[in-house]
Amino acid sequence: MILAFGNDAILHWPHVSCETPLYSIYRNDSLNVQAIPANLIGTTTDTTYIDVGILAGGDLLNFYVVTAE
Q: What tens digit of pLDDT does each residue of 31-56 get?
A: 999 999 999 999 999 999 999 999 99
pLDDT band, very low/low/confident/very high, at 4 (cuts 50, 70, 90) = very high
What pTM did the predictor assign?
0.90
Longest dimension (CA), the chain: 39
Structural domain span for residue 7: 2-68
Please state the rounded mean pLDDT for residues 52-66: 89
Separation of alpha carbons 41 and 5, rounded Å: 18
Is the predicted pLDDT of residue 57 greater than 90, yes or no? Answer: no
Domain count, the chain: 1
Is the predicted pLDDT of residue 18 greater than 90, yes or no? Answer: no
Separation of alpha carbons 47 and 52, rounded Å: 16
User: Buried b vs exposed e over 38-68: b needs ≥16 C-beta within 10 Å?
Assistant: ebebeeeeeeebebeebbeeeeeebebbbee
